[in-house]
Amino acid sequence: MKYKIALVFLLFFNLFFAQTVIKQDSVFAKKIKLFNTNFKEFEVLDNEIYAVTKNDCLIVFNFKKDKITKTKSGVISVAKNSNNEIIFVNKQNKIIHFKSGKTKQIKIQCEPYILVFDKNSNPIVISDKGLIYGDKIFEPLNVKHNHIFYGIKSMEDKKRVFMNPDLIFLDSKNRLWLTYDRGEFGEDILFFDLEKKEFYTDNYLMIDTNYSLTKDEDDRYFQDLKKTFPDEIKVTVKDTLYKFPNQLPIYNPIRGIVEKEGKLFISQSLIHFSVDSHFSLLYDFDGGDFYKSFDLTKILLEFVPYNKYETDLHVNEFLGPLHLNKFNNSVYYYSDKGFFKIIEHKGKYDKEFIFKPWINWSATNRNNLGSDINVTKFEFISEKELVFLTTNNGIGYYNGTEVKYFQ
């Protein structure tokens, strides 16, 4: 009899996950044990999460029923195309449609990193050899830059290897952003124009002349800069405009990019002894190549104790990823303070707290003396429900009132 009971228990465990209540979140939470692993990326379709583990295994599970539906080994990356179809790339360099099984072989011998899609559902594979698009390989060999590009390194055998970017984003102008976290040394950004099929990087306009650090000298420097680069700088009655990608307001490693109605929201953050965060907003000017920028960092300001008797306004928030909630057309962000909604009203911006998940942090970062962000991606699946990827606690699902962690 006891063997039958044990068998029933094992069958039940295989169908449903073991659950542990967690009391640390700002909302009620419980942990659902999968294979005791962490994930590197995910996609959501209907009530199922398609998650790739750090050991290159695809796990498909229903997050409403807490039930595994399928697993596949040897999967490198998973993505959702514009037709809302799940596609993955495996270690055999095959791009496979999850539902139909239709397969496309990558003709170029490479090590795939990430699979993404353009707006017409054409696959783009980021690999150690470069970017594969339309069965052609593109390498940033002749990119003009004012410093060594961090995205390419030479191995001991002198081969050039294209590095896996930390973040990828495709904007409405068919520019694919590939960003590289250099820690205390800032950020490298590589762009790939899908229409022109060419790489380029951001650029900072400078003139090599001595100026003193005074307001008058700053004004004179800008006037000289404008004369030196008349095709890159425009000044209107209200704004100073720069031709993209000159003078981008990027100061720290990029944690998130999202686009809403032609506006690019960019979160940047670094912990190097202390927190340094910036929130930038880029506008297209008249739909052309010129843009204007707006600093959103002030929504992060808070009063921090300066000494025993005084407080001062500081940015004390470590920023993470961004997401556009298509169900209410609002931008959200994650930070060490929790999840927030960005409120916009008559050209002014503020933030609204949603909830804070208490999750583990990594003690060190490879490029600076500080922690790395512990949530790397999140996605709303309804106006109040979201799924988020953590670095140490698996994948979280928030239903508007409580959290479940799948690990």
What are the tens digits of pLDDT across the range 94-120? 999 999 999 999 999 999 999 999 999
Greatest Cα pair distance, the chain, in angstroms, is: 90
Q: Cα angle vertex 157, ends 151, 162, to 5°?
A: 20
**229 lies in some domain:** no
Quick: pLDDT tens for 277-313: 999 999 887 678 899 999 999 988 876 666 666 556 6
Output the pLDDT for position 13: 35
CB 42 within 8 A of CB 51: yes
Across 42-51, 113-122, 224-233, least confident range: 224-233
Output the pLDDT for position 100: 94
Average pLDDT for 244-260: 94
Integer CA distances (angstroms), 11 to 8, 71, 181, 405, in order? 5, 17, 45, 22
Output the pLDDT for position 185: 78
**183 lies in some domain:** no
Strand ranges across the sheet with 39-45: 39-45, 48-53, 57-62, 67-73
Quick: pLDDT tens for 128-178: 999 999 989 998 876 655 445 667 766 666 677 888 999 999 999 999 999
**6 lies in some domain:** yes
Q: Is the pLDDT of residue 38 over 80?
A: yes
**249 lies in some domain:** no
Domain count across the chain: 1
Q: Is the pLDDT of residue 27 over 70?
A: yes
Identify the burial level of 161 via C-beta atoms within 10 angstroms of its C-beta, where 0-12 means exposed, 13-18 middle and 19 or more buried: middle
Output the pLDDT for position 194: 97
| Rounded percentage of the chain residues whose pLDDT exceeds 70 | 83
> What CA–CA distance (Å, rounded) separates 318 from 338?
10
Q: Is the pLDDT of residue 368 over 80?
A: no
Average pLDDT for 188-199: 94
Q: What are phi and psi of 295, to 5 degrees?
A: -90, 115
**27 lies in some domain:** yes
CB 58 within 8 A of CB 51: yes
Output the pLDDT for position 305: 67
- Give the range of the structural domain holding residue 23, as residue numbers without chain letter: 1-37+358-407
**4 lies in some domain:** yes
Output the pLDDT for position 327: 97
Output the pLDDT for position 8: 37
Q: Is the pLDDT of residue 4 over 60?
A: no
Integer CA distances (angstroms), 348 to 14, 154, 282, 296, 343, in order? 52, 47, 15, 9, 8
Listed in sequence order, the residues at least 6 apart from 312 whose beta carbon sits closer than 8 Å to its beta carbon are: 303, 304, 306
**308 lies in some domain:** no
* Confidence band for 367, pLDDT divided at 50, 70 and 90: low
**363 lies in some domain:** yes
Which comes out higher in pLDDT, residue 209 or 340? 340
